[in-house]
Structure 1
Amino acid sequence: MNTNNKPSGAPVIGPLSSSSAPASRPQRGRAAPWILGLVVLAAAAGGWWWWKGRAADGQAGGPARAASAPGNAGAAGGRGGRFAANRVQPVSVMPARLQDIRHTAAAIGTISASNTAVVRAQVNGVLQQIHFTEGQQVKAGQTLAQIDPRAFQAALGQAEGQLARDKASLDNARIDLARYQDLLAKDAIARQQVDTQQATVRQLEGTVKADQASVDSARLQVTYTKVLAPISGRVGLKQADIGNVVQTGDTNGIVSITQTRPIALTFAVPSALLPRITAGLKGGTPMAVEAWSRDGKTRLATGKLATADNAIDLSTDTIKLKALFPNEDDALFPNQSVSVKLQLATEQNRLAVPAAAVLRGAQGFYVYVVNADNTVNTRVVQTGAVDGDWMAVDGKIEPGERVVIDGVDRLREGAKVEVIAADPKQRAGANAAPRRGRGASGPHGAASGASAASGASAGAGERPAWLDRLPPELQDKVMKMSPAERDAWIAERRAERAKRQAASGGGN
């Protein structure tokens, strides 16, 4: 019974609703401390777990992390990367030595023939024979070609006939003169007739001489039908073929000959070197000149300085020089451009090291020397002249001490090194026979798992089974590495694979 006469649907706002509100507030207040405590405990547990994981990683997992981290791809034995102090670095060495160091002047020169001749026909006619091979060496006077001689032989016969006829007339005139002189002595003939006969004899003597000259000229024309080499040298390409009509006015002639033994080299050097060059030319020992290929890798010939020009070129401030080379092997050709090395002087018994071993730093020029315990230390040197691949130096280096010529970029003072052959083909394992086997490989051909580990620790002469999974060009590259380089290479491949896996996991 509703004593308040309220509608049945109206909300009840009585003592029940007013007493329930204070009851809910104390419940929320009691729950807040428990939640805060759980959060603190979780944070403490997370911090303890992180600290323990880092400590364990530093004690037991450091090498693995260093090997797999991209920034430490080469440090298989700990932190520090490729320049780690405790890592053995592979290097190539050469011993310092005492040797003669030449002082040279470099230039660019042009080869020229000592003499050049264009062989032309001296008579007009049909070319019947060719007696040379293109490019061969010929001697002066050697027959090179034959021109049809028949017309010239006919002219020679005609001249010889005329000479014979005039000789007969001369002989008859001389007989008559002798007879007339005998009659004159008997006073049986007039002196005028004798004088006339004497004039006739002298006239016929002149005719005979002219006929003899004609014969000699015709005979000379016949000899001209044989084309002879005017100089010794190398013949070029033929300019006329058999059956062609050759003439004395042909511009190209039949063939050209260049005298290449000896052959000349003309080049220019700075005029400042002229006093030393003049002294060398006046001395008893000729100055040596070397001709090299344009890339400077191949020595073509060695000759002697012959002479210098009579004036300095004002436009370039250089002096032209000429050298002669025997050229017995025909290594030099006319108009060939070569690199030139003129030897000016020689230092005897100088301490020298390979030029590749000399570095430059804050302290000046220095080299790395490998000690008996396979550690390196730097030696400051003063550089001198360079002769080929060797450089003269002055410093605290003894002949026979080993200096580093390859691998210096990975060295520091006191670093441990492993000496390997300078030529990759001579390194251990470079020529090992291929061996087929099973092994796993990463996405880019890098070995992984147990196969990679066995390959990293394989001996220098062994071929890892997983290597057959790599492309051929990559197999050769890996086999030429030293064990330390191979370890670093494998570690880099692992790091790359880990990064790709992390990137693919993050994308999903």
Structure 2
Amino acid sequence: MDDQTAEQNDRLNSSHLNAGDAPPPKKKKGALRWIVRIIVVLIILLIAFAVLRPNKHNFQHRPGAPTNNAGGMADNSNVTPVAVTTVRRGDMPIVLQTTGTVVPITNVTITPRVTGHILDVYYQEGQFVHKGDELELIDPRPYEAALGQARGTLAADTAQLERARVDNARYQKLIRQNSTSAMTARDQEFTVQQLEGTVALDQANVRTAELNVMYCHITAPVDGRVGIRVLDKGNYVSAGQSGGLTILTQMQPISVILAVPQRSLGHVAERLHSAGQLTVEAWDSDNLRNIATGTVKALDSQIDTATGVVRMRAIFDNQDERLFPNQFVNPHLLIDTQHDVLLVPDNAIQTGPNGQFVYVVQPDMTVSETPVQIGAADINQTVILSGVKEGDRVVTDGVNHLRPGAKVSIPADTAHTKAGAEAGSTAGTSAHTHRHN
């Protein structure tokens, strides 16, 4: 019976295999293995995160970590980092910033005073020349000939005058002796006077001829820089020719004509009258760099009704020639200086509904909104008349999110303290190493 049952089972198995049934697929087993691996990796990552994650206890015991009163970690979410500065005492210059133009004290158009051909040119364009240096030569030969003629005429007329004077002396002696008529003696006196006039005219002609010869030699009337020449050697020029021969500009010293608004005229005139002169700085057209420093002594006699300003002339030595004629500059006129006043940077001043105020940092690292009265100001600092005292720390940066009573931090102080601690630690380590050695 048992043998028959076993034989029947073998037939059934054989029939199943013959029917095309395959063994269980291996793909399912591979997928299960990958799922197991992923689960193991996730468990490992969770364990690592739990072990390595910084907890509150570790943070509290980390050196330098801020704590609250209960010993736990401080909440920094409401602390605003700011930059501060200390209210100090100093001097505040009162400076009037205006506009101006560089104008030469002397600007000469060199024009010929005689007519003729240019024989020579002795300067180079752009050359610096001194007073009396010869610039150009106009053909002097016609004028030298005229001078010789005038001198000859003068000599002849002078000889006639001398003879007439001798005759007049003789006639005057004879008339006292009643040896000649009074009319003859009187006529001789008139002859002498006539010849004296002729000689005087001849002398004037000689002087004119000498001037014409001198004018042939064109010289520099002042020290300065010669510009571009208009006519070259060989050209024919006329006396008083339009446009001249060149332009000579005095560069040292040079002046700046600056405009003072009439609202500031009273203060400027008062200071100029009491001090005699005021200091002025010429800044470049971008108002970024000081070019030269000079003085103001002259104030115009009237206000320009079209612009509402009064002109002043500032004088600069200009030894380095950094000021150039017709250059636009920004003069900074020093009117006065306030001494020993409270000063804060301009960016510390805030404006609210009730006027100007500053944020003052309190000892508990909170800020208070302190109203202030301001005085003179420039682009860098402002005078504080009242509201704060010397030594107060005012916020200069980071004020956008501040409110009265807000908690603040000062990164600069923290960095300074940390640097000091590190320096002390380094010094201690070095000392320990030295003792050990």
With over 3 angstroms needed to count, the CA separation of the structure-2 counterparts of 1:302 and 1:52, relative to structure 1, is same
Other-structure match for 2:314: 324
Distance 1:315 1:219 in 2: 50
Other-structure match for 2:158: 167
Distance 1:380 1:322 in 2: 44
User: Alpha-carbon deviations, 1:380-436, whole Å to 9, x = none?
Assistant: 56354333423334555645x887767888998433524799xxxxxx9xxxxxxxx
1:352 pairs, out of 343, 346, 355, with 343
- Tell me the C-alpha RMSD between the 2 structures: 4.6
1:105 pairs, out of 96, 107, 111, with 96
Aligned length: 351
After superposition, residues 226-241 of structure 1 pair within 5 angstroms as 226-241=217-232
After superposition, residues 208-287 of structure 1 pair within 5 angstroms as 208-284=199-275, 286-287=277-278
- Point out the more displaced range, 404-413 or 343-352: 404-413
User: Alpha-carbon deviations, 1:480-506, whole Å to 9, x = none?
Assistant: xxxxxxxxxxxxxxxxxxxxxxxxxxx
1:417 pairs, out of 411, 420, 434, with 411
Structure 1: 5+ residue runs without aligned partners?
1-45, 64-76, 78-83, 422-427, 429-508
Distance 1:241 1:415 in 2: 76
Other-structure match for 1:431: none
With over 3 angstroms needed to count, the CA separation of the structure-2 counterparts of 1:417 and 1:181, relative to structure 1, is closer
Letter in 2 for 1:225: C
**TM-score normalised to structure 2 length:** 0.63
With over 3 angstroms needed to count, the CA separation of the structure-2 counterparts of 1:347 and 1:185, relative to structure 1, is closer
Distance 2:229 2:120 in 1: 12
SS in 2 for 1:170: helix
Distance 1:186 1:343 in 2: 87
Asked if structure 2 preserves the Cα contact closer than 8 Å seen for 1:119 and 1:230, the reply is: no
Distance 2:276 2:203 in 1: 56
Structure 2: 5+ residue runs without aligned partners?
1-38, 56-64, 66-74, 420-437
Other-structure match for 1:158: 149
SS in 2 for 1:167: helix
Distance 2:197 2:302 in 1: 57
Letter in 2 for 1:207: T
Q: Tell me if 1:338 matches 2:329.
A: yes
Same amino acid, percent of matched pairs: 34
SS in 1 for 2:275: coil
Other-structure match for 1:32: none
Letter in 2 for 1:417: P
Distance 1:314 1:170 in 2: 65
- Point out the more displaced range, 410-419 or 335-344: 410-419
Letter in 1 for 2:238: Q
Letter in 2 for 1:169: Q
1:126 pairs, out of 109, 117, 137, with 117
With over 3 angstroms needed to count, the CA separation of the structure-2 counterparts of 1:199 and 1:268, relative to structure 1, is closer
User: Alpha-carbon deviations, 1:87-114, whole Å to 9, x = none?
Assistant: x999987665422112333322223233
Q: Tell me if 1:296 matches 2:302.
A: no
User: Alpha-carbon deviations, 1:58-101, whole Å to 9, x = none?
Assistant: 874589xxxxxxxxxxxxx9xxxxxx939x99998766542211
Letter in 1 for 2:311: L
Shift, 1:300, TM fit: 2.1
Shift, 1:122, TM fit: 0.9
With over 3 angstroms needed to count, the CA separation of the structure-2 counterparts of 1:146 and 1:355, relative to structure 1, is same
